[in-house]
A and B are shown apart, each in its own frame.
Chain A
Amino acid sequence: MHLVYPAVLAALLFCVGIYGVLARRNAILVLMSVELMLAAVSLNLVAFDVWLRDEVHTGQVFTLFLIALAAAEIGVGLAIVLLVHRNRATSAVDQLRALADRDEEEPEGAASRETTTT
């Protein structure tokens, strides 16, 4: 099989994941897009491992590790998203601005900053 097919498929899948991470608003959909990117990387690892005929199966073992890491990441990520949803009643990533670098013209942020500095 030509190596270009899996490599191009992995590249396109990765870019779909990039679009999802940047464009989605719901935190769980962002996590899903991260999963797509991880899956693209593991397709690359498997394809190159089969191509190179590695003695110790480095690429495929890394894919197994990557799948386990993705499961751990989803577990912790979903716990964080659920906690945020309970505390803030939202899971939209662009509404969580408690740590944002606020502009000066915003009255509430400026006022609170003055009170904290004094």
Chain B
Amino acid sequence: MTEREILTTSGQEIVFVLVGLVVLGAAVLCVTTRQLVHAALWLVVALGGLAVEYLLLTAEFVAWVQVLIYLGSVVVLLLFGLMLTRAPIGPSPDVDSGNRRVALAVALASAATLVTLVVDAFRTTWIDLETPHGESAALGDSLFRAWVLPFEALSVLLLAALVGAIALSRARADRADGQADERGAR
């Protein structure tokens, strides 16, 4: 009976699998491409596909937050980082370190373990997608009722990260002055 239920797929499952293949392909290209800027753009495809998956799972608020923050700011920050570290345009030969084979072995072994475990554990489990779970109103309600303290703590953490990033970027100016003074003294 389980076999039969697995074989009868709904339209949502087909779309989910197709978008999932796109996400996986983009992720693999992101970690294997030799062009640094292309890696960031493949990351955009992978994370955008994940937003579509969230929509298919009826988690619309998370999907739009994903689009806004991941695609909107994180990838732009990554691209800025690539440009500021003078990433070469075009293929660069030394993007992969020497332990590529070990990394491939570890990734394949963990993939086999995880997929076997997950398939075995959730073979007979179904998600009910008829009633959506994750609209903005309900999610905001629980976010600002049940989770308001972690939310505020998270805002303090974001402030700390911002201050830390600014402090790290400013450290250079003081150090440069110090070096200049040393050189002048010499």
Chain A residues packing against B (C-beta within 8 Å): 1-9, 11-26, 28-29, 31-33, 35-36, 39, 42-43, 46-47, 49-51, 53, 55-57, 60-61, 63-65, 67-76, 78-83, 85-86, 91-94
Q: How far is the CB of B73 from chain A (nearest CB, A)?
A: 6
| Number of B residues with CB within 8 Å of any CB on chain A | 92
Asked whether A18 lies within 8 Å of B46 as measured between CB atoms, the reply is: no
- Decide: A36 and B111 in contact? CB cutoff 8 A: no
Q: Name which residue of chain A comes closest to B80, CB basis.
A: A78
Q: How many A-B residue pairs have CB under 8 A?
A: 257
What's the dominant secondary structure at chain A's contact region? helix
Residue of A nearest to B43 (CB): A32
Q: Is the CB of A6 within 8 A of B171?
A: no
- Asked if residues B134 and A57 are in contact (CB atoms below 8 Å), the reply is yes
Q: What is the distance, in angstroms, from B38's C-beta to the closest C-beta of chain A? A: 11
- Docked-complex contact A9 and B80, CB < 8 angstroms: no
Taking a contact as CB atoms under 8 Å apart, the answer to whether A79 and B165 are in contact is yes
**A1-B10, A60-B61, A75-B165 known, 15 other contacts, Cβ within 8 Å:** A2-B13, A12-B115, A14-B114, A15-B108, A16-B24, A20-B31, A21-B103, A33-B30, A49-B133, A56-B142, A57-B143, A61-B142, A75-B77, A81-B81, A81-B85
